[in-house]
Amino acid sequence: MKAPTEPLTPHPDLANAQVTFWRGLTFKQATITLLVVSLLSLSTGAAQLYLQWRGMRADLQAEIDRTLALVRGSAAEAAFQMHPELARQLINGLHALPALAAAELRDNFGQVLAEIKPASASPPTVLVRALAPSFADILHYRLVLHDPQSAPEASTEPGEPIGTLSLELSANALAASFLVQARNNLLVTTVQILLVSALVVAVFYWMITRPILRLSDAITEVDPGAPGYWTPPRLRGHQRDELGMLNLRMGALLSAFQQGLNQRDVAEQDLRALTQELEARVQERTCALHSAMQDLDQQKSALEQAFGELDSTHARLADANDQLLASINYARRIQNAILPASDRIRLHQAEIAVHWEPLQAVGGDWYWFESLANQPLIVLADCTGHGVPGALMTLVVASALERILHEQKLRDPVEILYALDDLVRKRMRQDAHDSVADDGLEAAVLCLNPDCTQARFASAGIALIQLDADDRVKVYRGGHAHLGYASLPPPRRIELHRLEIAPGDLCLLLSDGVTDQMGGEPQRLLGRRRFIERLKRSRKAKLHDWMLALEQALAAYRGEQARRDDMTLIAIHKND
């Protein structure tokens, strides 16, 4: 914390400051209490009014139903006898119904036997007009009267209709009655609000405001020169609550101020003594520094000699590095020499493109293309490791494949893989139980017919992806087998796949360095599914353009992430 640059001074009017009633805690407490109680009471009152409105409607409907049930027999008799006097007595008896506006008794010929017409009333108030529509659905009632004597015996069907009894209630009268109840509730709620607010304010003043004022008056009596001798006021009833804790902590704070003042005086005395001691030490250290400067001059000469030797060592390391780079570049030329020449990679009625990109100058991915008896043969191998060790493994695989194709003259993809497993084990001396090395490879062999319409495919760990002109994908998965490893048994079974290649189809062989790239947001492996999506989006008419767009899409997915393995793509596109 940054210390203040100037001491704090008390406000000149602080001693005579008075808090007005309108800014005091009592007024704020009264205002907040009144608002809170008002909101709670109004919310409760609104809920009560709604419940009263629903209850009033339910009670009214129940009373109308009971009344109609009571007069059903008398009304049916008056309608059956067409007796106007009896009908008038019945209608006049309905005046007891609340808010009755009109009533009418008719016989089955439509003749009015007796009726009560709506009486003229004073204009309703604005509130009555606003509330009246809420009773609109319970204003009209109609009772069809039946002759019980015309009903068949032991039947639940009513008899022949002999008339109707209709009632109409006044919406304004119902609304006015409900408003009287609402006004009474409002008056009661207002009185409750005022009483509760006054009681809460009185309690707050006695319990909080009054003790705070006493504590404030006592704080104004603190002596700035001796704050530790302040006597806290007694706050009865607040020894164990927050105000009591505030009183105690104020006393402890002032005592700490007093202790700080005392320590300041002691510190000033110690500072003067320390200043004198430091002056003596400075003089002593000046002499020591002069001696140290002489020692530094001697060390500087020794460092200059050491730096000279270090420069000579750097020069020797740079020379060794140049020789190492030259060896690696020579190894790259050797590895490029065992790859098929680009002018030899040609297919009849199909395009072929190869993307070979080792992780370092040389790598463990290797491919071969050769036409045997007018049938193109393509081999892709992913050897253990990358860099120089992986490149040495590719030399072993290339030598073994040369013997398989030209000495053993094998042409079946499955037989080629079995023979490759056997030769790699023997040439790496990994066919014995005491073998120290444990290196091998994954490989795939694709053999095409002359016009590239059919193919045979076998694989140990490398898949072939076939994409047709309609972006339908078929994946020929290589068996979970590895070739040449001393720690793994020879593959038991390698499956042979036969492919039909239609015009527009794309066949793609790829090493796992393609799908094992990290990238995207969030960071994840590319994987086969996301690779196929980018393969579809990169489609171009020419295979060369297609592969270039695919390489750009893979680089965009990888972003700033470095590649993790050697990467090889071999694509064959059947011409339309």
Residue 394 confidence (pLDDT) above 90: yes
Structure tokens at 174: 């119902």
Say which range, 2-6, 77-81, 304-308, 351-355, has the weakest mean pLDDT: 2-6
- For 77-130, write each residue's pLDDT tens digit: 877 777 788 878 888 878 777 778 788 888 888 788 788 877 666 788 888 788
Tell me the helices (H) and strands (E) count for the chain, helix number first.
11, 16
pLDDT tens across 238-261, in order?
Answer: 767 777 777 778 778 878 877 877
**For residue 16, what pLDDT is reported?**
57
Name the least confident of 81-95, 198-212, 529-543.
198-212
Q: 21-193 has which CATH code?
A: 3.30.450
445: left (phi over 0), alpha (psi -120 to 50) or beta: beta
* Per-domain residue ranges of the chain: 21-193, 343-574
- Let me know: does 194 contact 225? Beta carbons within 8 Å: no
Q: Which of 1-5, 206-210, 316-320 has the highest mean pLDDT?
A: 316-320
**Global pTM value:** 0.49
What is the length of the chain? 576
Query: Would you state the pLDDT for residue 18?
Result: 64
The pLDDT, as a whole number, for residue 222 is 77
Q: What is the bridge-based pairing of β-strands 496-500 and 524-525?
A: unpaired
> Above 90 in pLDDT, residue 473?
yes
pLDDT, position 156? 60
pLDDT for the residue numbered 535: 93
Helices (H), 122-170: 126-131
Neighbours of 364 (CB within 10 A): 29
> Is-contact 76 108, C-beta < 8 A?
no
Give 1's pLDDT tier (boundaries 50, 70, 90): very low
Distance, in Å, from the CA atom of 130 to the CA atom of 410, rounded to the nearest integer, reads 101
* Residue in 86, 142, 146 with CA at minimum distance from that of residue 113: 86
Q: How far apart are CA 325 and CA 424, in angstroms?
A: 29
Fold topology of 343-574? Phosphatase 2c; domain 1 (3.60.40)
Residues 6+ apart with CB under 8 A from 488: 440, 482
User: Distance between CA 533 and CA 25 in Å, rounded?
Assistant: 71
In this predicted structure, the answer to whether residue 14 has a pLDDT above a threshold of 70 is no
| DSSP states along 555-573 | HHHHTTPPP-S-EEEEEEE
Mean pLDDT of the chain: 84
Q: How buried is 38 (Cβ within 10 angstroms: 0-12 exposed, 13-18 middle, 19+ buried)? A: middle
Same topology, domains 21-193 and 343-574? Answer is no
The separation between the first and the last C-alpha atoms of the chain, rounded to the nearest angstrom, is 79
Phi first, then psi, for residue 334 (nearest 5°) are: -65, -45
